[in-house]
Amino acid sequence: MENKNPLQEIIDKIMNWSRINSPWAIHFNSGSCNGCDIEILATLTPRYDVERFGIKLQGSPRHADVLIATGPVTLQAKDRLIRVYEQMPSPKFVIAVGSCALSGGVFDGCYNVVGDLSKVIPVNVYIPGCPPRPEAIIFGVVQLLESLKLGKVPEMVEVAPPELVSEELGGQQ
């Protein structure tokens, strides 16, 4: 087991505490129809107001802990998505929002689509729905933060409960 410098250990603990209490996120649309993106924006509006939990949207991947991605990955967006992911400092986490990010959804098999998000970058949390409700998106972020509180980098798939998936659209996944 690696022996850490005690000072480094304290710095790591402070950084992890800061990350859990105020994760900074960047949003990337790699080919979505914009439905999921509208729901992400809704989480930032006063009705849901995720900033009260310290979650802040960033303009630069260099300042972001979490990549919130929507849509399947198109051929045009693939390299940009990889570049954004690589520019984020470690440790970094990816949340795939919506059925298209999970499986390609309605765009699966299109001539210009590479596939779902996990075909291009590693994904930590999946949030199903077409589109998922803002509550489901917040739930997914909380799942990620809960895993980090336990001191582990989530490598598993976390899925929002079905009752949080869009009811208006018949809870499609």
Q: Does residue 32 touch ligand SF4 according to CB under 6 A?
A: yes
Q: How far is the CB of 114 from ligand SF4 (least distance, A)?
A: 15
Which member of 25, 36, 113, 145 binds ligand SF4 (CB under 6 A)? 36
Instruction: Give the E-state strand segments of the chain in sequence order.
Output: 24-29, 56-57, 66-70, 73-74, 93-97, 113-115, 125-127
Q: Does residue 33 touch ligand SF4 according to CB under 6 A?
A: yes
Instruction: Count CB neighbours of 61 within 10 A.
Output: 17
From 39, 47, 3, 80, select the one nearest 165 (Cα to Cα).
Answer: 39
For the record, the structure tokens of 42 come out as 């809704």
Q: How far is the CB of 39 from ligand SF4 (least distance, A)?
A: 8
Q: Judged by CB under 6 A, which stretch of 6-14, 78-86, 98-106, 114-122 contacts ligand SF4? A: 98-106
For the CA atoms of 38, 44, 47, 52, what is the dihedral angle to 10 degrees?
160
- Near ligand SF4 in 49-88, by CB under 6 A: 70-71
What does the binding site for ligand SF4 look like in residue numbers (CB under 6 A)? 32-33, 35-36, 70-71, 98-100, 105-106, 130-131
